[in-house]
């Protein structure tokens, strides 16, 4: 199956949490890491998040640096990459920042079970891809994104989508910034939630690089999919 080259970028606390138990966004990394994230966005054809992240953080997923926007434009691309929400039940708010801010294509991926009225309303704002019965079939979705010409896909979480992609063998690399705080809480989301892998069937990684950045560490992992 053809699929885009896919990488996750995430920031987590020293105890592996990506936000608090109230699922409120916290600043884990600093300006240097946010600028690195902006560079990754600018080098990508598309950026994907789960609807849980849209509901919690309302990210715009736009490129913030004007010079990076200018470079993309002069190369004939939209200033922002395609922005994709994986949203089985079409819960993305119609006034979400991904619709209000930035330029270029937006995609909302839904399942057949999504309410038709809300899907119709979202179709005024975004291209709709329907894949899967009750929840979005990520393997099918990746095939469709590839056939649309998306070759390099950046995933910005959250915890449930990360699990869905990793457990289906759909991720090639992971950038993980580890910040100098503890968040704690057994219900706070971690880098990878979902059911979790079981003993004897864990997902191995190869460490590509590690560097100290601001008050934390940036790790780059290659995912050793079977
Ligand atoms: N520190 C960081 O780098 C980041 C932190 N976050 C945090 O993550 C939290 C959101 O994470 P979650 O609640 O886990 O939501 P999520 O963003 O992972 O979205 C989950 C949703 O994805 C959709 N989905 C559809 N098909 C799926 C499939 N086959 N597999 C998996 N998901 C599928 C479902 O509708 C599901 O409800 C927030 O608290 C947010 O602040 C989010 C992004 C980055
Ligand atoms: N890389 C990173 N570091 C942190 O400290 C964070 N809190 C996050 N959160 C994610 O950053 C994105 C912000 O997007 P916009 O600025 O609105 O475009 C969003 O995906 C947050 O969940 N990331």
Nearest CA to ligand 2 atom 14: 59
Q: Is 51 in the pocket of ligand 1 (CB under 6 A)?
A: yes
Which residue ranges make up each domain of the chain?
Answer: 5-223
Q: Which ligand 1 atom minimizes the distance to the CA of 164?
A: 30
User: Does residue 1 have a pLDDT over 80?
Assistant: no
Tens digits of per-residue pLDDT, 164-184? 999 999 999 999 999 999 999
CA distance 210 to 85: 30
Burial pattern 114-143, b for ≥16 Cβ within 10 A else e, equals beeebbeebeebbebbbbbeebbbbbebbb
Contact 50, 85 (CB under 8 A): yes
Segment 200-215 shows an average pLDDT of: 97
User: What percent of the chain stands above pLDDT 90?
Assistant: 98
Tens digits of per-residue pLDDT, 64-119? 999 999 999 999 999 999 999 999 999 999 999 999 999 999 999 999 999 999 99
Q: Where are the alpha helices (DSSP H) in 4-137?
A: 31-42, 51-57, 66-74, 97-100, 116-122
**Closest of 159, 144, 56 to residue 108, by C-alpha:** 144
Q: Is 20 in the pocket of ligand 2 (CB under 6 A)?
A: no
Lowest-pLDDT choice from 3-12, 21-30, 116-125: 21-30
Distance 76 CA to ligand 1 centre (A): 31
Which of 23, 89, 92, 158 best tests ligand 1's pocket when mutated (most atoms within 8 Å of CB)? 158
Dihedral angle over CA of 16, 222, 30, 95, nearest 10: -80
CA distance 169 to 127: 25
Residue with tokens 């929400």: 85
CA distance 136 to 143: 13
Q: Which CATH class is domain 5-223?
A: alpha beta
Q: Is 18 in the pocket of ligand 2 (CB under 6 A)?
A: no
ipTM of the complex model = 0.95
Calculate the CA 223 to chain-centre distance. 16
Segment 152-166 shows an average pLDDT of: 98
Q: What is the pLDDT of residue 226?
A: 85
CA distance 183 to 12: 9
Q: What is the pLDDT of residue 206?
A: 98
């Amino acid at each position: 199956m053809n699929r885009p080259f896919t990488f996750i970028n995430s920031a987590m606390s020293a105890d592996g949490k990506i936000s608090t138990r109230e699922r409120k966004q916290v600043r884990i990394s600093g300006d240097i890491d946010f600028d690195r994230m902006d560079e990754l966005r600018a080098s990508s054809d598309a950026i994907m998040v789960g609807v849980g992240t849209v509901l919690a953080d309302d990210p715009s997923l736009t490129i913030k640096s004007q010079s990076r926007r200018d470079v993309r434009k002069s190369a004939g691309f939209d200033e922002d990459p395609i922005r994709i929400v994986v949203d089985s039940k079409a819960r993305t708010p119609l006034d979400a920042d991904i619709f209000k801010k930035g330029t270029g294509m937006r995609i909302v991926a839904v399942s057949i079970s999504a309410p038709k009225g809300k899907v119709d309303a979202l179709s005024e704002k975004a291209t709709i891809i329907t894949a899967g019965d009750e929840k979005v079939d990520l393997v099918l979705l990746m095939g469709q994104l590839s056939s649309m010409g998306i070759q390099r896909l950046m995933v910005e979480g959250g915890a449930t989508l990360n699990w869905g992609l990793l457990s289906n063998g759909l991720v090639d690399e992971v950038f993980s910034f580890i910040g100098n705080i503890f968040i704690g809480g057994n219900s706070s989301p971690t880098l990878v939630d979902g059911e979790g892998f079981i003993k004897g069937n864990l997902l191995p990684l190869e460490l590509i690089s590690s560097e100290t950045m601001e008050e934390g560490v940036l790790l780059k992992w290659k995912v050793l999919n079977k």
